[in-house]
Amino acid sequence: MRATRSMALLAGLFFGPGPRPQPALETGTVAGTVTEPGGGPVVGAAIRVAGSALQARTDRNGRFTIASVPVGSATVIATAVGYGQQQRVVTVVAQRTVVADFVLQPAVMALREMVAESRDAQLGRHRGVAAAPAPMMAAKNYALRQEFNTEEYGFHRDNAWASARRQPLSTFSVDVDAGSYGNIRRFLKEGQLPPKDAVRVEEMINYFSYDYPSPRGEHPFSVTTELSRSPWNPRNRLALIGLQTQRLSMDELPPNNLVFLIDVSGSMSSPDKLPLVKSAFRLLVNELRAEDRVAIVVYAGAAGLVLPPTPGNRKDQILDALERLEAGGSTAGGAGIQLAYQVARQHFQEEGNNRVILASDGDFNVGVSSEGELVRLIEERRRDGVFLTVLGFGTGNLKDAKMEQLANKGNGHYAYVDDILEAKKVFVQELGATLLTVAKDVKIQVEFNPARVKSYRLVGYENRLLADRDFNDDTKDAGEMGAGHSVTALYEIVPADGADDDDDGAVDPLKYQTRGRSGGSDDWLTVKLRYKAPQGSTSRLLDRVVRQETGSPSADFRFAAAVAAFGMLLRDSEYKGQASYSGVLAAARGARGEDREGYRAEFIRLVETAASLAGRGREITGREDRR
């Protein structure tokens, strides 16, 4: 009786009142597409029914659907960053679908005004600011942002050139995180260039899937290498290392023991946080099977279990628990993490996938809350064989660096969910990669031949670097790869006969080293990899040798290089060389390929937006920019 009473009290803390019955209304559906004048889809356009709360966003094919629209005349309005607004008046018929298609005209010059107006309105609504005339609100906007924006990003300096003669080895942990790309997209859609430290180039590259071959044989991933000229410095070479794990459908996955760990503190109350979290987890719940189990742990001022482990075929029960969550209070994230791991361990599946999925803005402020304390807590719990997925939500106080480190130390990965389309990518299209780890502690070590390579530079992975001796040390933590994950790494290389782009002048010549010694080999480099089985403790080794340049670089090579160049432009990297927005666009358009989900097409539009925001709009239209 006492336990039942406690559960009831706990439910009262985290659940709002149940839904009230509403009178039945006759409704229909409005659906259609939003395109550019040339016919291309406008992704992420906002569609709303005037005078109501009904709204939707277009998918990556430019399509949208708004259900439950009352019958009769309705005004449907379409808007998108970088485009003019358009509206249609339609007649909605009960239980029918009426089509409303839009063709939005680009409005690059109005981009800043559109975004400022939109963010001012949202800021007033989210912060409880009363409606005010536009000039007054604009005057307050800067001060409000300064007061409330507490987003945090970890500082990192771009990897520098290293001499192949003095430092022939380069060692790093793989990274399948993609949070940086989603966050960059959010900034650009809001009409801002992202902070430099929000840009992690390797996460931008690894956001995309590539046409690497599926693994065959004893190892859980295939290895692809290419070597060709660097697009941002034609005197140099660019080496690509690509890994690909086996792609699995939901039916092929082992049973899942999942704990949804959801932040319901007051900072999660805005529409792009807890409401989006609910929508995202609904997508995952709809994919679950009877053999899967889901528990829900929430935390605000305290942590609590609001849904015990429940079979995946009891979807109504799980969805009802999600729907009733409400935000309020401070953020005891450490207590929530401890309880979530405890629940996962109590119901551990020896032959299954055991995982905590954390959804938060990362604003932990009660109890164990510092990044160091949380990382140590996660490191202790990962030894139990429970993996961690970290999902970032929202704007204004996103603790990006903290959440990325939690994922890195928790044998998991980090993604930023800025809209329902990204939630679909994480929880539906890449479900195997999200849920099932197939290799852990994956490390790469590259040995460069000084007879062919003068100097080299790893593009990205700045916070994933390892000491060379860590490669053979099985106690050192490294990255994890899920089913269907691909990992891509790029090295820029100065050939042995190349110009002095490296640091050869930084120290005096070495007296006892043989310049250009290579053991008689013409190899450019050797790639070595170590990994462990998901529940293993001893690593396995494999290697590949790169002996010659690729005759014609693949579309994947060209697209990955374009993404890397874009990242360096956003960071204003000293290593960007001749990279330009126009060059990135040309390369990305030429390497777009089949692009069934539209992610590469979206990338092209983001580059166009960034070029306009950076004052390079004329550059990408072929006109000289005289700024």
**Is the pLDDT assigned to residue 115 strictly greater than 60?**
no
In the three-class reduction of DSSP (H, G, I as helix; E, B as strand; rest coil), residue 35 is classed as strand
| Average pLDDT over every residue of 13-41 | 72
CATH homologous superfamily for 250-435? von Willebrand factor, type A domain (3.40.50.410)
Query: Residues 6 or more apart from 564 whose CB is under 8 A from it?
Result: 201, 204, 205, 459, 460, 490
- Interior/surface letters 157-174, b for 16+ CB within 10 angstroms, e for the rest: ebbebbbbbeebebbbbb
CA distance 594 to 610: 24
Please, which residues bridge with residue 226 across strands? 240
CA distance 584 to 567: 10
3-state helix, strand, coil in the chain (%, to 5): 30, 30, 40
Task: Provide the CATH topology of domain 27-106.
Answer: Immunoglobulin-like (2.60.40)
What pLDDT band is residue 151 in, cutting at 50, 70 and 90? confident
| Average pLDDT over every residue of 66-70 | 91
Question: How far lies 231's CA from each of 199, 342, 487, 561, in Å?
Answer: 20, 50, 21, 7
- Can you list the alpha helix ranges (DSSP code H) found in 383-486? 400-409, 420-424, 431-435
HEC-encoded secondary structure of 130-190: CCCCHHHHHHHHHHHHHHHCCCECCCCCCCCCEECCCCCEEEEECCCCCHHHHHHHHHHHC
The helix-helix angle for 315-323 and 274-285 (nearest 10°) equals: 180
**Is the pLDDT assigned to residue 248 strictly greater than 90?**
no
For position 24, what pLDDT does the model report? 55
Q: Which residue has the tokens 């966050």?
A: 183
Amino acid found at 382: R
Query: Pairing mode, if any, of strands 437-448 and 479-482?
Result: antiparallel
pLDDT > 90 in the chain, percent: 49
Residues of the chain with CATH 3.40.50.410: 250-435
**Is the pLDDT assigned to residue 146 strictly greater than 60?**
no
Q: 605, 44 in Cβ contact below 8 A? A: no
Query: Residues 6 or more apart from 221 whose CB is under 8 A from it?
Result: 215, 243, 244, 245, 246, 438, 439, 481, 531
What pLDDT band is residue 252 in, cutting at 50, 70 and 90? confident
Q: 233, 489 in Cβ contact below 8 A? A: no
**Is the pLDDT assigned to residue 255 strictly greater than 60?**
yes
Element (H, E) at 600: helix 599-613
- Interior/surface letters 22-39, b for 16+ CB within 10 angstroms, e for the rest: eeeeebbbbbbbbbbeee
CA 538-542-546 angle, 5° bins: 155
Question: How far lies 594's CA from each of 210, 371, 456, 591, 599, in Å?
Answer: 11, 41, 32, 9, 10
Q: Which residue has the tokens 């691909």?
A: 486
For position 221, what pLDDT does the model report? 93
Mean pLDDT of the chain: 82
In a 10 Å sphere around its CB, with 0-12 CB exposed, 13-18 middle and 19+ buried, how is residue 578 labelled?
A: exposed
What pLDDT band is residue 108 in, cutting at 50, 70 and 90? very low
For position 1, what pLDDT does the model report? 46
Residues of the chain with CATH 2.60.40.1120: 27-106
Q: Could you count the other beta carbons within 10 Å of the beta carbon of residue 317?
A: 13
Pick from 489, 472, 516, 545: which is nearest to 164 by CA?
516
For position 521, what pLDDT does the model report? 74
CA distance 580 to 259: 45
Chain Cα centroid distance, residue 145: 24
**Is the pLDDT assigned to residue 79 strictly greater than 90?**
no
CA distance 562 to 78: 31
For position 616, what pLDDT does the model report? 73
What pLDDT band is residue 363 in, cutting at 50, 70 and 90? low
**Is the pLDDT assigned to residue 370 strictly greater than 80?**
no
Over residues 514-537, the pLDDT tens digits come to 554 555 578 999 999 999 998 888
Please, which residues bridge with residue 531 across strands? 540
Residues of the chain with CATH 2.60.40.1230: 162-248+439-504+517-620
Question: For the ranges 41-45, 317-321, 579-583, which has the lowest average pLDDT?
Answer: 41-45
More confident residue, 331 or 256: 256
Question: For the ranges 35-49, 104-118, 199-213, 477-491, which has the lowest average pLDDT?
Answer: 104-118
Over residues 315-338, the pLDDT tens digits come to 999 999 999 888 776 655 667 888
More confident residue, 234 or 617: 234
For position 372, what pLDDT does the model report? 62
The side-by-side arrangement of strands in the sheet containing 221-230 is 162-163, 453-459, 486-495, 233-245, 221-230
Question: How far lies 430's CA from each of 214, 224, 355, in Å?
Answer: 15, 21, 16
Pick from 408, 503, 475, 477: which is nearest to 177 by CA?
408
For position 217, what pLDDT does the model report? 86
Q: Does domain 162-248+439-504+517-620 have CATH number 2.30.30.90?
A: no
| Average pLDDT over every residue of 394-416 | 80
DSSP annotation string for 220-242: SEEEEEEEEEETTEEEEEEEEEE
Chain Cα centroid distance, residue 180: 5
More confident residue, 473 or 511: 473
pLDDT > 70 in the chain, percent: 80
For position 301, what pLDDT does the model report? 65
- Give the pair of three-digit tokens for residue 237: 């070479």
Pick from 333, 325, 377: which is nearest to 358 by CA?
333
